[in-house]
Amino acid sequence: MILKPRLEDLKIIGFYLGKIILGLAITMFIPILIGLSFGEINPTLDFAIAVEVTVIIGLLFTRLCRTDKDLNWMQGMIVVSLSWIAAMILSAVPLYLSGHYKSFLDACFETMSGFTTTGLSLAQNLDHLSYAHNLWRHLGPFIGGQGIAIIALSFLLKGTSGAFKMYVGEGRDERLLPNVVHTARFIWLISITYLIIGTLALGIAGICIGLRPVNAFFHGACIFMAGFDTAGFAPQSQNILYYHSLIFEIITIVIMIVGSLNFNFHYQLWMGNRKETFKNIESRTFFISIMLTFFIVAIGLNQLGVYPQAIALFRKGFFQLISAHTTTGYMTVYAQQFITDWGNLALFGLICAMALGGCICSTAGGIKMLRVGIICKALKEDLKRIIMPEKAIVIEKFHHIKEIFLEDKIVRSALTITLAYIVLYGLGALVGMCYGYPFLESLFESTSAAANVGLSCGITSPTMPAALKITYIIQMWAGRLEFMSVFAIIGFLVAAVKGK
């Protein structure tokens, strides 16, 4: 029998949702400070309005639903799902007021794309967007990449067991430290440390190519936040192509790879456990997958003679491949060139890279390397069972931080999530085809949205149908949360209707 949700369930969900909304309001003071620093009055007022609206809504939820009870699993998952939708809507307010978006839906698309670290953009006249609004676009991935609930875990929810439910609800199930709040704070420590290093490196590179120091470090901070969090937003409409710099591109490649690695893997390296680099099934699978997909892309490009020189192949072919595989979405080519220059085989390689994605417990999207490695291990185990005598006992293990026996439940979980991603990629492609786009282009754009990549072959634009924008928003949301929180909210709604 399905139990109907009680009023108490709604109060607990509302209270913790209100806490997260208040945490979001705090982050909006950062673009206000930037706006004041650059003398941008109207953009500052846009964010002042957004802060006021967000604080009022947050206070309403926390006061009306005040409770001292902790979250259970279902409530934690629902809070996470709803918090991402609330963040999308409230964060879209200042962007819509900027006048650079055709509609409020476009602004919502932009914020969901940012929070989910996707990077598809519907901004108009991006090159003239204010510093404050531009920073907010890039701060979104930095917040969403670490996790919206992680903010609450770090600063607002101290010592509740419900914290772990919210942490898992955002698609992370690995704790770096015994306490999940300490884990959340360590994730921020890693991110802020890299932010300082990455901003300095990109800022100096920007000065070397002729940018004014203020612009160089502003661009450096923006590019780092969107690169480390595998989002792909950039302050200029030409994306990374704007800088026309090999050194800038190499630094960006390093940032993209670092951002797509498991935070637990970072923790092991910080603790001096460098052997993990070569032993971990996830890092080994990632390396092999990059080599295989780049091989496909290189053959496809070579067939058409697109980039005959090695340096051009590196700056265009390899850069785009790393951008796709880490699910970042940075580009050194124009979107239409994927269709006019790259050819079907190279596009196929790029789609495979996007679909596979980066590592679990990172800011990357896609199926994830650990699951791919586990599925390959399971295939190897099955082949052994076929080849070896019937009475032989086959035991398979893999190394991921520690030695783990390959059990059926681990394989089943990896296959379930993989299948869910494949279905999501296919459904988005089907919607694109219904609006008249060719199959390969529809699959490219759908995979990019659902795997939270951000590369575009030209379909994503302010003029595309509203239903397609909503489809991509749902794909970005479901893909980022890795389905469990989405399934939870669907189950909650079903229980509300059919429960007793």
Asked if residues 339 and 306 have their Cβ atoms less than 8 Å apart, the reply is no
**Res 222: pLDDT:** 93
In this prediction, residue 304 carries a pLDDT of 93
Provide the pLDDT for residue 394.
83
Q: At 215, is the pLDDT very low, low, confident or very high (cuts 50, 70, 90)?
A: very high
Q: pLDDT tens digit string along 160-200?
A: 555 666 666 565 666 666 666 777 778 888 888 999 999 99
In this prediction, residue 350 carries a pLDDT of 96
Q: What angle do CA 41, 127, 428 make, to 5 degrees?
A: 110
Q: Could you tell me the pLDDT band of residue 462, with boundaries at 50, 70 and 90?
A: very high
Q: What is the pLDDT of residue 393?
A: 82
pLDDT in tens, 118-161: 999 999 999 999 999 999 999 888 887 766 666 655 555 555 55
Contact 53, 90 (CB under 8 A): yes
CA 199 to the chain's CA centroid: 20
Burial (CB count within 10 angstroms: exposed 0-12, middle 13-18, buried 19+), residue 31: buried
Is the full-model pTM beyond 0.85?
Answer: yes
Mean pLDDT of 473-479: 93
Average pLDDT over residues 337-361: 94
Residue 252, pLDDT score: 96
* Mean pLDDT value of segment 294-307: 95
Most confident of 4-8, 175-179, 443-447: 443-447
Could you write out the three-class secondary structure of the chain?
Answer: CCCCCCHHHHHHHHHHHHHHHHHHHHHCHHHHHHHHHCCCHHHHHHHHHHHHHHHHHHHHHHHHCCCCCCCCHHHHHHHHHHHHHHHHHHHHHHHHHCCCCCCHHHHHHHHHHHHCCCCCCCCCCHHHCCHHHHHHHHHHHHHHHHCHHHHHHHHHCCCCCHHHHHHHHCCCCCCCCCCHHHHHHHHHHHHHHHHHHHHHHHHHHHHHCCCCHHHHHHHHHHHHHHHHCCCCCCCCCCHHHHHCCHHHHHHHHHHHHHHCCCHHHHHHHHCCCCCHHHHCHHHHHHHHHHHHHHHHHHHHHHHHCCCCCHHHHHHHHHHHHHHHHCCCCCCCCCCCHHHHHHHHHHHHHHHHHHHHCCCCCCCCCCCCHHHHHHHHHHHHHHHHHHHCCCCCCCCCEEEECEEEECCHHHHHHHHHHHHHHHHHHHHHHHHHHHCCCCHHHHHHHHHHHHCCCCCCCCCCCCCCCHHHHHHHHHHHHHHHHCCHHHHHHHHHHHHHHHCC
Mean pLDDT value across the chain:
89
